[in-house]
C-alpha cells in the first residue's frame, strides 16, 4: 500500500475525487470540485489530523483555461493528546486541488470551517482576484490600501513586474479599517509604525480597558516586495535560490534550501550525501544564531540588558562558525540546484568542533544565570498564552506551537536531507506562555549543537555538487519543506518553460503564526505587548505599527517605539496616565 492511501480512501467515502497525482511519492495531490472544497479540507484537517501548511492560488489559464487553488495539508495527526499522532511511515503531504473557471472567479470560503485559511484566502483575492464567498474578514492583506481596484499583480496578463501603479498623495490615502471590539468606550493606542522590538514596520492596534488589552488588530505587509512576481518574470533557477535567500535576514538559508528542494523534488533529483550533510549543518547554524538572538531580545525587552549582552557575545561565535562552514558571516550564497557550491576542509571541521564546545558551555552558563533571576521569570511566566485549541485551529508553527505542547517539527514529521540518519529530540513545553517558548528555544539550541556535531562526525565523502542532467519538466510541481528557526517553511514550485519558474509560492514560518497572535494579546497588560510580539520571533520581511485603545474613555494615544520599550523595561510612568 502506498503512503497516504488509507487517508485518501477515507476522503473518498464522502467526497468525489476526480484525480490523484503523486510527485514525489509522499506528496499527493487530489482534485475535487470547488463546491466540495471546504468539506474536503475540513475532513483532512480535523477528522484525519492535518495541519494547513500553505495555500497556493495559481493562474493556469494558459495551461487549462482555469484558475487553480492548492490547499497543502501536512498529515501528521492532531497531536492534541500523545496517542493522537499518525505513525511515522504514514506521514505525508496531501494537496487539495480545485479548478476555478476564469469567467467566474469565486469559490466557497474554507475559513468558516478551518480558521487557519483566513490569511491565505485574503491573499488569494489581493493577488489573483479570486473571491472567497462567505469569508468573514475580506479586507486587504498584502497590497497597500491605495492599490488600484481590479489590478491583480500575480495574474499572468495583469502587469509587467517593472510596473508600479502611480502613488497616491499621503493625504488621499485611504485609512485601513481595524476591527474594533464593542464596549462602553475604547482607548486606542497605536503602536508603530515601527515595531518595538526589532525596529521594523508594522502597525498594531491594541484595544485596552485600563491597562489590560482586550483585543488587538494589526496591519502588516508594508514591506511586500513582490519577489514571487520577480522570480516568475526574469529569474532562472541559478538566480532563484539566491533570491529566495533575500526573503529574510535571519532565516534566509532555510528559504533557499526549501526553494531549491522544491525544484529538485519536482524533477526527482537526488543530491550527494556530503551536500545533504552540509545543508543540515548550515540550517542548524542558522538556528543557533536565531534562537540566541531571540532569547537575548526577550531579556532586553524586560530590561535585563546584562543577560542580553552576554547572549549576544555568544551569538558572535555562531557567526564565526558560519564563516568557517560557508565563508561568509551569514550562511548565504551557497546553494545551487544539485548540491552546494562550497566544500569544507578537515582543518575547518576541527576548528568548528572547538567553537561548538564554547557555544554549548557558555549558553548553559548564561541560561542558568537567567533562571536564577526571579524578576526575569516573573515577567515571562503566564504572559501571552497561546491556547492549545487556538494553536490547533490556526496551524501555528515553530517554537510557538511547541511551547503549547505540540510535538510539531518539520525535521521530525517530514525529515529532509541527512536528518533521517541523525539522532535528536524535539523539545516541547506545556506552559503555553513566553517562558515555555524561550525554554523550548534554549533546549533546541542544545539539540542543534548535537546535530551539528553528529553531522561533522558522520560527514560522508565525495562530491558536494552534481550537474543536474535531468531537464526541467514543464508543469511538474512539488513542495519543498524545512524547519527554519521560526518554524516550518513551505515553498511550492511549478516548473515552466525555458529554465524558468511558472509559479513560486513562498510561505515563511511567521505567516502561519500571525493570525493567532491576536489571541495571545488578550488579557495581558500593555507592558507585555512588546514581549509577546518578541516571543513570537516575528519576521517582518516575511510578512509586518501598534495602537493602544482604551475601551472605557474611548481615547487613543500613539506610542512611539521608544515609549513602549521604556515602559516595558522600567514598568514606571504609565503611557496612558495623562490622557
Partner 1 sequence: MKLLDMANKYGKATYNYPFQPYVVAENFRGKPSYIYENCIGCTACGVACPSNAINVKLNEDKTKLVWEFDAARCIFCGRCDEVCPTGAVVLSQEFELAVKFDKNNLKEKGELDVEYCEVCNKPFTTKRLISYNLHRLEKAGWNKETLDKKVHYIRTCPDCKRKHKVEVITQYLKRGTK
Contact residues: partner 1, CB under 8 A = 238-239, 242, 306-307, 310, 313, 316, 320, 323-324, 326-328, 332-334, 341-342, 345, 348, 362, 365-366, 368-370, 372
Question: Looking at beta carbons only, is 239 or 389 nearer to partner 1?
Answer: 239
Report residue 428 as a C-alpha cell: 516541547
Question: Looking at beta carbons only, is 342 or 522 nearer to partner 1?
Answer: 342
Least distance from partner 1 to the Cβ atom of residue 539, Å: 20
Least distance from partner 1 to the Cβ atom of residue 457, Å: 21
- Is 251 annotated as a binding-site member? yes
Question: Looking at beta carbons only, is 46 or 242 nearer to partner 1?
Answer: 242
477-484 and 487-495 strand pairing = antiparallel
Spatial separation of the C-alpha atoms in residues 237 and 501, rounded to whole Å: 8
| Cβ atoms of residues 308 and 299 within 8 Å | yes
| Cβ atoms of residues 462 and 274 within 8 Å | yes
Spatial separation of the C-alpha atoms in residues 255 and 538, rounded to whole Å: 16
- Is 208 annotated as a binding-site member? no
Least distance from partner 1 to the Cβ atom of residue 534, Å: 20
Least distance from partner 1 to the Cβ atom of residue 545, Å: 29
- Omega into 193 within 30° of 0, i.e. cis? yes
User: Minimal CA–CA distance to 52: which of 115, 9, 6, 106?
Assistant: 115
Spatial separation of the C-alpha atoms in residues 259 and 442, rounded to whole Å: 28
Least distance from partner 1 to the Cβ atom of residue 371, Å: 10
Spatial separation of the C-alpha atoms in residues 134 and 114, rounded to whole Å: 13
- Is 92 annotated as a binding-site member? no
- Is 228 annotated as a binding-site member? yes
For the chain, the first-to-last Cα distance in angstroms comes to: 68
User: Minimal CA–CA distance to 260: which of 282, 281, 244?
Assistant: 244
Spatial separation of the C-alpha atoms in residues 176 and 179, rounded to whole Å: 10
| Phi, psi (deg, nearest 5) at residue 167 | -70, 150
Question: Looking at beta carbons only, is 158 or 306 nearer to partner 1?
Answer: 306
Spatial separation of the C-alpha atoms in residues 388 and 135, rounded to whole Å: 24
Least distance from partner 1 to the Cβ atom of residue 351, Å: 8
Spatial separation of the C-alpha atoms in residues 296 and 311, rounded to whole Å: 6
Question: Looking at beta carbons only, is 184 or 498 nearer to partner 1?
Answer: 498
Question: Looking at beta carbons only, is 187 or 298 nearer to partner 1?
Answer: 298
SS3 assignment, position 112 = coil
- Is 248 annotated as a binding-site member? yes
* Residue 515 CB-half CA count within 13 A: 24
Least distance from partner 1 to the Cβ atom of residue 440, Å: 22
User: Minimal CA–CA distance to 355: which of 319, 396, 317, 395?
Assistant: 317
Question: Looking at beta carbons only, is 310 or 491 nearer to partner 1?
Answer: 310
Least distance from partner 1 to the Cβ atom of residue 438, Å: 16
Question: Looking at beta carbons only, is 73 or 299 nearer to partner 1?
Answer: 299
Annotated binding site for Ni(2+): 248, 251, 539
Which parts are annotated binding residues for Fe cation? 251, 542
Known binding-site residues equal 228, 248, 251, 539, 542
Amino acid at each position: 500500500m502506498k503512503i497516504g492511501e488509507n487517508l485518501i480512501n477515507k476522503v473518498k467515502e464522502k467526497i468525489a475525487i476526480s484525480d490523484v497525482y503523486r510527485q514525489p511519492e509522499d506528496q499527493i495531490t487530489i482534485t475535487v470540485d470547488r463546491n466540495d472544497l471546504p468539506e474536503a479540507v475540513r475532513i483532512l484537517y480535523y477528522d484525519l489530523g492535518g495541519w494547513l501548511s500553505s495555500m497556493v492560488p495559481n493562474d493556469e489559464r494558459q495551461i487549462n483555461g482555469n484558475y487553480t487553488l492548492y490547499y497543502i495539508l501536512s498529515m501528521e495527526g492532531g497531536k492534541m493528546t500523545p496517542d493522537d499522532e499518525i505513525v511515522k511511515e504514514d506521514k505525508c503531504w496531501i494537496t487539495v486541488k480545485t479548478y476555478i473557471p476564469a469567467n467566474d472567479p469565486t469559490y466557497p470560503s474554507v475559513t468558516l470551517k478551518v480558521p487557519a485559511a483566513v490569511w491565505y484566502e485574503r491573499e488569494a483575492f489581493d493577488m489573483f482576484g479570486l473571491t472567497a464567498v462567505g469569508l468573514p474578514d475580506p479586507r486587504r492583506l498584502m497590497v497597500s490600501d491605495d492599490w488600484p481596484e481590479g489590478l491583480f499583480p500575480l495574474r499572468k496578463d495583469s502587469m509587467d513586474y517593472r510596473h508600479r501603479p502611480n502613488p497616491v498623495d499621503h493625504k488621499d490615502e485611504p485609512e485601513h479599517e481595524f476591527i474594533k471590539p464593542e464596549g462602553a468606550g475604547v482607548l486606542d493606542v497605536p503602536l508603530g509604525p515601527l515595531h518595538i522590538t526589532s525596529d521594523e514596520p508594522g502597525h498594531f492596534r491594541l484595544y485596552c480597558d485600563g491597562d489590560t488589552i482586550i483585543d488587538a488588530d494589526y496591519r502588516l505587509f508594508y514591506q511586500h516586495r513582490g519577489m514571487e512576481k520577480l522570480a516568475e518574470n526574469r529569474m532562472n533557477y541559478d538566480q532563484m535560490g539566491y533570491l529566495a535567500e533575500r526573503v529574510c535576514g535571519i532565516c534566509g538559508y532555510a528559504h533557499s534550501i526549501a526553494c531549491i528542494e522544491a525544484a529538485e523534488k519536482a524533477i526527482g533529483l537526488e543530491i550527494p550525501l556530503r551536500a545533504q550533510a552540509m545543508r543540515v549543518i548550515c540550517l542548524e547554524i542558522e538556528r543557533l544564531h536565531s534562537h540566541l538572538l531571540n532569547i537575548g531580545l526577550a531579556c532586553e525587552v524586560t530590561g535585563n540588558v546584562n543577560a542580553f549582552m552576554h547572549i549576544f557575545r555568544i551569538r558572535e561565535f555562531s557567526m564565526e562558525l558560519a564563516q568557517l562552514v560557508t565563508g561568509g558571516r551569514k550562511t548565504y550564497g551557497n546553494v545551487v540546484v544539485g548540491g552546494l557550491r562550497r566544500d569544507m576542509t578537515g582543518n575547518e571541521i576541527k576548528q568548528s568542533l572547538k567553537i561548538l564546545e564554547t557555544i554549548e558551555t557558555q549558553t548553559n552558563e548564561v541560561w542558568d544565570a537567567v533562571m536564577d533571576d526571579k524578576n526575569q521569570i516573573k515577567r515571562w511566566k503566564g504572559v501571552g498564552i497561546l491556547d492549545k485549541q487556538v494553536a490547533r485551529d490556526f496551524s501555528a508553527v515553530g517554537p510557538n506551537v511547541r511551547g503549547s505542547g505540540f510535538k510539531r517539527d518539520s525535521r521530525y514529521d517530514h525529515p529532509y536531507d541527512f536528518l533521517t540518519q541523525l539522532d535528536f529530540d524535539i523539545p516541547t513545553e506545556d506552559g503555553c506562555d513566553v517562558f515555555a517558548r524561550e525554554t523550548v528555544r534554549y533546549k533546541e539550541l542544545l539539540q542543534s549543537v548535537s546535530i551539528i556535531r553528529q553531522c561533522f562526525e558522520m560527514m560522508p565523502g565525495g562530491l558536494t555538487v552534481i550537474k543536474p542532467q535531468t531537464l526541467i519538466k514543464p508543469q511538474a510541481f512539488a513542495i519543498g519543506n524545512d524547519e527554519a528557526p521560526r518554524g516550518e517553511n513551505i515553498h511550492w514550485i511549478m516548473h515552466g518553460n525555458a529554465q524558468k519558474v511558472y509559479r513560486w509560492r513562498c510561505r515563511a514560518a511567521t505567516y502561519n503564526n500571525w493570525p493567532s497572535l491576536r489571541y495571545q494579546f488578550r488579557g495581558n497588560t500593555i507592558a507585555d505587548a512588546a514581549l509577546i510580539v518578541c516571543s513570537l520571533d516575528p519576521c517582518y520581511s516575511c510578512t509586518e505599527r501598534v495602537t493602544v485603545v482604551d475601551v472605557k474613555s474611548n481615547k487613543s494615544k500613539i506610542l512611539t517605539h521608544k515609549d513602549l520599550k521604556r515602559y516595558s523595561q522600567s514598568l514606571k510612568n504609565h503611557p496612558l496616565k495623562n490622557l
